[in-house]
Chains A and B, each alone.
Chain A
């Protein structure tokens, strides 16, 4: 009604109709545009007023470097000038944030800033952090992961942020107990803390966290060298809901038994890779943890009857992961006898899973939503029949390498599992008929059909027609696939984001051209497709602007002309593999204008010269990782290498000999040989 009126007026006064919308309405329209960054961009281009409204309304910002030159600071400055009310700043695409840069951010965001992500950034020090913390007094969330260079002084700077609730210090290896002690004393409101891989932190620091930070809800202590000494004080955390003790080898049965009690508030517990903990320790821990919902015991002790019995008391349990454990039949049957109804079960890479045991579980736990039986090689059609019969609400089924499962199983999946969203059939014995059944699962968003040698275009056409919500499709080495199948998928699944057609040798440019229909595509892997040329790449580059990862290794016919559109349009491109392609220095130089490009793999490219390579690498300001033939190590000027390394680029020198491509069936046989050996 109002809109109509606006349009009427517009006809008379020739003023843009949008100018009559009230700011509140525009704001709420903006809120609906959230998921796609390009939508917001187009929105702000409508008019000057929309531009300014969008600038004022934007709360979150994830800047990415447009160019790889050193003007990036200016770019960031302009961005921050444009968006004055940023609450959440994600700098994970800006690898280089210096102290001066941080101080500019500090000054322009000031008190509005609540969250900052520096997990991928380097070059800032405790000076910048201290500046940040003292000016942005309302900071609630800081992510400092991977800041291997940060020391205790930086931690002390962070500790002065009293309001901090979430702090991520993953892989801050230079931190010690002293720094953690400062944080424990300073940030008393901490709710979420990750100390994963902080190898300098010991029992003392962790214990102090337990004593001081009473508000902690979630604590990640993965891979720390802690022992039972810190556990008693962690027990004092009465609100602790999520505890991650992955890979804490210092914790054993005795330490858990000596605790005599566990955390009553705990909802999620991860004790994977705790080699020294068996059912004895776990049962003593779970005795009092009646709220436990998620339990991860992957790569731990034997799953036998005592273990399943000790977990029986957990009346709220919803999810259990037992990946990589050795499993006994009685253990599985024990799980089957639990009175709770599991929603998620992972038995990935468990040895000892049999039809008998699995059937027993799924017949009891009929609410199962996620089931992972990757590499449970002993199971057959029987298990799948039970799964499909009793677990009608299954959302995710991963059954990679369940090679004994026969084709009837796929019929049952298609018939009974209508809510299935994720299906992994990699290395299964499925054919076009099977895909026809699978295509009845209309909710499918992730489908993995790698190394399914028997599927062809016919099957893919069923998928393209039946699964419009598909986001991820993996066709690695499913060699019968041709352009026809891909085209059907590209047209039937416009939401497609990731596709892998590696080593499907029949794929040509026309596949890529049809895939360019899917504008959300961000990952394309088409290794070893010799028929793909720069033409197809150009189509993808122009229309799929969200492209992040591109793998065109062994696409021998891709040359420099394919790089021009990439450099021009794919501003989000972060990772590219150009090995064995015909791209030369020139192509690389084009790519160097991409500010976002972080990872570059360029092995066995004949057209590369040391000088051209040096120029290209120097141009790519954001490079973090380069895989190069080791012969270049001596050919590149030492100064250039040193400069690049100082910028934060890591070189991985490879000395692989040129590998000729094998016949696909021969490849599978070889792979199986390797597995058996």
Chain B
């Protein structure tokens, strides 16, 4: 029994105690760098000047009557530019954060119950600036400082949501809100995560993905493994189970799922760790054989995608494709002049669409909301696409890794990822079932 239990826990899985020195070594080299700050500021200055010119141009032209569509386009452009400036500003300001927060930061992720009433990383947004204020109230700049931090926190909070949507499989623990220290944090090594098998036979060394499979395999090694006790699911000690809830940390430094992250969100199971690590930190090596464009790092994701890749693709006249009809209509409702494209394929598809209304009810939940939603996500993708992973971007530790010049690229990435995104939206999994319904209700 005990031996087996030990086997199931990978050897490199170690319990981690977070110690003060640990964090200090990680943060110190990345403290505020005035040179980077200066380049950032000058880039922002340039951008603001550009924007100023653009707005001046609009003002000059506004005397001439212009078509509505053109105005809206200009408006969108200005909004987009402003957004990127704001993001830049915030992330630049964010580089100051470690310096400000440092005195308290060390105690934050400490799993031991702490008498210090500091809010933990995962807790409310508003409390943090408040705390800063009280700490720095002797500072003449205290107020503005606090405000800035609060702004930044807001932003990062918002991007947290984005993160959650991207890894929808892993976010089961989103609403968990475990108080820090009430659980044990385990961290697997990269090799461990990427290993195909986690359960190995002690006799022949064969690897298995599942413990149950290993136990079935063990039966072949002799009668002693055939007893009911040996075949039963390894029983965990109820006492330790109640006391220590296990949560997992991602080994990737700077990731929000990493225990050192200031807003650390633990992963619930080993499977979550595996999927998260592959999706977020690995190459996407599986390419969809149908469209040859979509790439995935988790094979299950590829399979899910392939199920409805190329089938009933909803296309807008602007070239954007959608996997769901309501998303296409939300898109069309939002933009002027965009038209649904008629599928060129066999008319059969049209017929199938005919029956669609019968069972679409569940998927249609957000028709008008949907339109806003699409806009919202597109918008977020702009900032996302330009700044890479939002958690990385706003993390003070990775400021250097964030290429500031990429900010200027983002209008081009406007739609590149939106389809991918809609695929990942919860609810798209109903898609297959929906298709089945269509064919059956065709005659209606």
B333, A212: Cβ atoms under 8 Å?
A: yes
The CA of A212 and the CA of B330, in the complex, are separated in Å by: 12
Q: Is B182 an interface residue (CB 8 A)?
A: no
The CA of A241 and the CA of B340, in the complex, are separated in Å by: 28
Query: Which one of B221-229, B296-304, B357-365 is at the A interface?
Result: B357-365
Q: Mask for A143-162, Cβ within 8 A of B = 1, else 0? A: 00000000111001001000
Name the residue in B325, B342, B365 with the highest tally of chain A Cβ atoms < 10 Å from its Cβ. Answer: B342
Chain B, 426-444, CB within 8 A of any chain A CB: 444
Which partner residue on chain A sits nearest B352 by CB separation?
A176
The CA of A226 and the CA of B351, in the complex, are separated in Å by: 18
Interchain CB contact (< 8 A) of B333 among A178, A182, A207: A207
List, sorted by A's number, 10 A–B pairs whose CB atoms are closer than 8 Å.
A152-B350, A173-B354, A185-B337, A199-B357, A199-B444, A200-B357, A208-B329, A211-B368, A229-B365, A232-B367
A177, B325: Cβ atoms under 8 Å?
A: yes
B339, A185: Cβ atoms under 8 Å?
A: yes
Chain B, 341-392, CB within 8 A of any chain A CB: 341-343, 347, 350-351, 353-354, 356-358, 360-361, 364-365, 367-368, 371
Q: Min CB distance, B188 to chain A, in Å? A: 45
Contacts A202-B356, A211-B333, A225-B357 hold; do A182 and B340 have CB atoms under 8 A apart? yes
Name the residue in B332, B340, B354, B371 with the highest tally of chain A Cβ atoms < 10 Å from its Cβ. Answer: B340
Q: Min CB distance, B262 to chain A, in Å? A: 41
Interchain CB contact (< 8 A) of A200 among B342, B354, B361: B354
B357, A229: Cβ atoms under 8 Å?
A: no
The CA of A182 and the CA of B360, in the complex, are separated in Å by: 20
Q: Name the A residues within 8 Å of B367 (CB-CB).
A: 203-204, 207, 229-230, 232-233
Q: Is A86 an interface residue (CB 8 A)?
A: no
Q: Min CB distance, A154 to chain B, in Å? A: 10
Contacts A203-B364, A208-B332, A233-B368 hold; do A151 and B347 have CB atoms under 8 A apart? yes
Chain A, 176-218, CB within 8 A of any chain B CB: 176-179, 181-182, 185-186, 199-205, 207-208, 211-212
How many B residues touch the partner, as a band?
20 to 34
Q: Is B170 an interface residue (CB 8 A)?
A: no
- The SS class assigned to the B binding surface is helix
Q: Name the B residues within 8 Å of A49 (CB-CB).
A: none
Q: Name the A residues within 8 Å of B358 (CB-CB).
A: 225
A204, B444: Cβ atoms under 8 Å?
A: no
Chain A, 579-619, CB within 8 A of any chain B CB: none
Q: Name the A residues within 8 Å of B81 (CB-CB).
A: none
The CA of A332 and the CA of B372, in the complex, are separated in Å by: 46
The CA of A169 and the CA of B326, in the complex, are separated in Å by: 23
Q: Is B338 an interface residue (CB 8 A)?
A: yes
The CA of A212 and the CA of B335, in the complex, are separated in Å by: 10
Q: Name the B residues within 8 Å of A211 (CB-CB).
A: 333, 368, 371
Interchain CB contact (< 8 A) of A153 among B332, B339, B342: B342
Contacts A177-B353, A202-B356, A208-B332 hold; do A152 and B364 have CB atoms under 8 A apart? no
Q: Is A330 an interface residue (CB 8 A)?
A: no
Q: Mask for B308-348, Cβ within 8 A of A = 1, else 0? A: 00000000000000000110010011000111111100010
A176, B339: Cβ atoms under 8 Å?
A: no
Q: Name the B residues within 8 Å of A227 (CB-CB).
A: 361, 364
Contacts A181-B340, A182-B339, A204-B329 hold; do A176 and B368 have CB atoms under 8 A apart? no
Contacts A174-B354, A207-B368 hold; do A202 and B339 have CB atoms under 8 A apart? no
A178, B353: Cβ atoms under 8 Å?
A: yes
The CA of A229 and the CA of B354, in the complex, are separated in Å by: 18
Which partner residue on chain A sits nearest B315 by CB separation?
A178
Name the residue in A156, A173, A181, A211 with the highest tally of chain B Cβ atoms < 10 Å from its Cβ. Answer: A181
The CA of A83 and the CA of B333, in the complex, are separated in Å by: 43
Query: Known contacts A199-B357, A229-B365; can you find 13 more A-B pairs with CB under 8 A?
Result: A173-B354, A176-B353, A176-B356, A177-B325, A177-B340, A178-B350, A181-B339, A185-B337, A185-B340, A203-B364, A204-B325, A211-B333, A232-B368
B342, A156: Cβ atoms under 8 Å?
A: yes
Q: Min CB distance, B362 to chain A, in Å? A: 11
The CA of A443 and the CA of B441, in the complex, are separated in Å by: 54
B353, A200: Cβ atoms under 8 Å?
A: yes
Q: Name the B residues within 8 Å of A176 (CB-CB).
A: 350, 353-354, 356
Interchain CB contact (< 8 A) of B350 among A151, A182, A229: A151
Name the residue in A151, A185, A201 with the highest tally of chain B Cβ atoms < 10 Å from its Cβ. Answer: A185
Interchain CB contact (< 8 A) of A177 among B329, B337, B339, B347: B329
Interchain CB contact (< 8 A) of A199 among B325, B354, B365, B371: B354
B342, A203: Cβ atoms under 8 Å?
A: no
Q: Name the A residues within 8 Å of B326 (CB-CB).
A: 204
Q: Min CB distance, A317 to chain B, in Å? A: 30
Which partner residue on chain A sits nearest B317 by CB separation?
A185
Contacts A159-B339, A182-B340, A230-B367 hold; do A202 and B333 have CB atoms under 8 A apart? no
Q: Min CB distance, A330 to chain B, in Å? A: 37
Which partner residue on chain B sits nearest A212 by CB separation?
B333
Q: Name the A residues within 8 Å of B444 (CB-CB).
A: 199
Which partner residue on chain A sits nearest B353 by CB separation?
A176
A203, B357: Cβ atoms under 8 Å?
A: yes
Which partner residue on chain B sits nearest A200 by CB separation?
B354
The CA of A200 and the CA of B358, in the complex, are separated in Å by: 9
Which partner residue on chain A sits nearest B339 by CB separation?
A185
Q: Name the B residues within 8 Å of A203 (CB-CB).
A: 357, 360, 364, 367
Q: Name the B residues within 8 Å of A199 (CB-CB).
A: 354, 357, 444
The CA of A204 and the CA of B340, in the complex, are separated in Å by: 12
Interchain CB contact (< 8 A) of B329 among A151, A156, A207, A226: A207
Q: Name the A residues within 8 Å of B368 (CB-CB).
A: 207, 211, 232-233
The CA of A547 and the CA of B291, in the complex, are separated in Å by: 64
B342, A202: Cβ atoms under 8 Å?
A: no
The CA of A233 and the CA of B337, in the complex, are separated in Å by: 18
Q: Name the B residues within 8 Å of A208 (CB-CB).
A: 329, 332-333
Name the residue in B350, B356, B357, B358 with the highest tally of chain A Cβ atoms < 10 Å from its Cβ. Answer: B357
Q: Name the B residues within 8 Å of A204 (CB-CB).
A: 325-326, 329, 357, 360, 364, 367
The CA of A159 and the CA of B342, in the complex, are separated in Å by: 12
Contacts A200-B353, A200-B354, A203-B357 hold; do A182 and B325 have CB atoms under 8 A apart? no
Q: Name the B residues within 8 Å of A156 (CB-CB).
A: 339, 342
Q: Name the A residues within 8 Å of B356 (CB-CB).
A: 176-177, 202
The CA of A227 and the CA of B358, in the complex, are separated in Å by: 10
Name the residue in A174, A176, A186 with the highest tally of chain B Cβ atoms < 10 Å from its Cβ. Answer: A176
Interchain CB contact (< 8 A) of A185 among B325, B338, B365: B338
B357, A201: Cβ atoms under 8 Å?
A: yes
Q: Name the B residues within 8 Å of A152 (CB-CB).
A: 342, 350
Q: Min CB distance, B352 to chain A, in Å? A: 9
Contacts A174-B350, A201-B357 hold; do A229 and B364 have CB atoms under 8 A apart? yes
B360, A202: Cβ atoms under 8 Å?
A: yes
The CA of A186 and the CA of B339, in the complex, are separated in Å by: 8
The CA of A182 and the CA of B342, in the complex, are separated in Å by: 9
The CA of A174 and the CA of B347, in the complex, are separated in Å by: 10
The CA of A202 and the CA of B360, in the complex, are separated in Å by: 9
Q: Name the A residues within 8 Å of B365 (CB-CB).
A: 229
Q: Min CB distance, B344 to chain A, in Å? A: 9
Q: Mask for A225-261, Cβ within 8 A of B = 1, else 0? A: 1110110110000000000000000000000000000
List the 3 closest pairs (A to B, CB-CB), nearest first: A202-B357, A200-B354, A181-B340
Q: Name the A residues within 8 Å of B351 (CB-CB).
A: 174
The CA of A207 and the CA of B444, in the complex, are separated in Å by: 21
The CA of A225 and the CA of B342, in the complex, are separated in Å by: 22
Q: Min CB distance, A149 to chain B, in Å? A: 11
The CA of A225 and the CA of B357, in the complex, are separated in Å by: 7
Q: Name the A residues within 8 Å of B333 (CB-CB).
A: 207-208, 211-212, 233
The CA of A232 and the CA of B350, in the complex, are separated in Å by: 27
Q: Name the A residues within 8 Å of B342 (CB-CB).
A: 152-153, 156, 178-179, 182
Name the residue in B337, B347, B364, B365 with the highest tally of chain A Cβ atoms < 10 Å from its Cβ. Answer: B364
Q: Name the A residues within 8 Å of B347 (CB-CB).
A: 151
The CA of A630 and the CA of B276, in the complex, are separated in Å by: 70
Name the residue in A186, A201, A225 with the highest tally of chain B Cβ atoms < 10 Å from its Cβ. Answer: A225
